[in-house]
Amino acid sequence: MSELVREALKDGRRVALLRCYDAAGSTIVDAEIVPAGSSDPVHRGPYHFASATDAFRFVQEALLALQYLGCSVA
């Protein structure tokens, strides 16, 4: 895996940016979240996964939850 980047938007405004990439023998997911009522992003992670499959599943589930909350994903 090289790098996977996904953005979640709500009403045209970014609410989350997820980056998934390989580094140092593991796959890492970083998240940038913009809380409701704020324009300042909050950084979360890095989250380390033993395999790219596990990291990608984490990203997919996070994006699915955001879609259930009315966000669009790009």
| Residue type present at position 68 | Y
pLDDT given for residue 1 in this prediction: 53
35: pLDDT strictly greater than 80: yes
Cβ–Cβ < 8 Å for 47, 58: yes
This prediction's pTM: 0.87
52: pLDDT strictly greater than 70: yes
58: pLDDT strictly greater than 60: yes
- Residue at token pair 């909350």: 69
Residues 6 or more apart whose Cβ sits within 8 Å of residue 19: 3, 4, 5, 29, 30, 31
